[in-house]
Structure 1
Amino acid sequence: MRALPGCILVLSLTGCAWLHTPPTSTSTQAAPVSPFKNAPVTRKTSTRPQPAKLYKTAEELVGKPFRDLGEVYGSTCQVSLQDPPPSLAAARKEMQMRAAYMKGNAVLLHQCEMVRAVAGCYQQAVCQGTALKVTQ
């Protein structure tokens, strides 16, 4: 009789542990999900606008409807004598790009000139004009 309470105690402590099976890989637990695993990759490429068309005289604009967007300028600088000389063509191109960034598609050129004795520059090329939005 003494063994009976001991066996009952051992069986009650083990309970149904011997019936337990470990979970398999097809269990109901969710697998960890990576938020970037299937996310579409989209890259925004920054496209630079094309330089605005250059008009050298106001007569070229006769008969074309346009809107004035404001003054634009471009410049290149020769910092020292060892640097390459400034270019009027590069200054014009910079002016055209500034007009394009203003959503303009044309520039009416006012003047381009070489300037000496500018603060920070040995020599400088400067171009000024008006940015325009010409409708065709």
Structure 2
Amino acid sequence: MRALPLCLLALSLTGCSLLHKPYQPISSPTTQPTQSEPARSKPAPRPAPVKLYTNAADLVSKPFRDLGEVSGESCQSTAQDSPANLNTARKRMQIRASSMKANAVLLHKCEIVTGAPGCYRQAVCQGSALKVSDQ
């Protein structure tokens, strides 16, 4: 009766070894792709840079469309972690604006808050995502 679990274990392990793929060496990167090799796809394009406006007066002479509110956060989980960073929060806000197809952000405020749920300290930036037209 003790042999039955051992036999089942041995069979299950050998069953997994049947899925092993044979070794195929990787061709060197200096070789040109042949007709049988698929062409390598290009990496995903980087999002367009999002300009940061801190003063609404800079937008007075420029036509723009407001795409909505955006925010970015940086969290310091415990007192021993690296501190919450306003630059990181600002950058995350710009990335979110870029995903909304914005090319600019009007910064409303950036601040460090304490007592946020799950964070010892948190840097938060809020702004408006804008699509500024070229004149």
What TM-score, normalized to structure 1?
0.69
Task: Quote the Cα distance in structure 1 between the aligned partners of 2:89 and 2:116.
Answer: 15
Residue 108 of structure 1 is matched in structure 2 by: 106
Q: Which 5+ residue runs of structure 2 have no aligned equivalent?
A: 1-34
Cα deviations by residue, 1:22-60 (Å, 9 ceiling, x for unpaired): xxxxxxxxxxxxxxx635414141123144100011100
Tell me which of 58, 62, 75 is aligned to 1:60.
Answer: 58
Match of 2:93 in 1: 95
Please list, as runs of the form range in 1=range in 2, the aligned pairs for 1:125-136 lying within 5 A after superposition.
125-136=123-134
Structure whose alpha-carbon radius of gyration is higher: 1
Task: Write the distance in 1 (CA, Å) between the matches of 2:124 and 2:48.
Answer: 21
Compute the displacement of 1:64 (Å). 0.4
Report deviation, 1:91. Answer: 0.5
Q: Normalising by structure 2, what TM-score?
A: 0.70
1:75 counterpart residue number? 73
Q: C-alpha separation between the residues in 2 aligned to 1:85 and 1:128? A: 19
Per-residue deviation, residues 50-95 of structure 1 (Å, max 9, x unmatched) = 4410001110001101111111000000000111111111111110
- % identical equivalent positions: 58
Q: How many pairs are equivalent?
A: 101
Once the 2 structures are TM-superposed, how far is the Cα of residue 100 of structure 1 from its aligned partner? Answer: 1.0
Unaligned 5+ runs, structure 1: 1-36
Equivalent-residue separation in structure 1 for 2:71 and 2:89 (angstroms): 8
Runs of 4+ in 1 over 3 A off after TM superposition: none
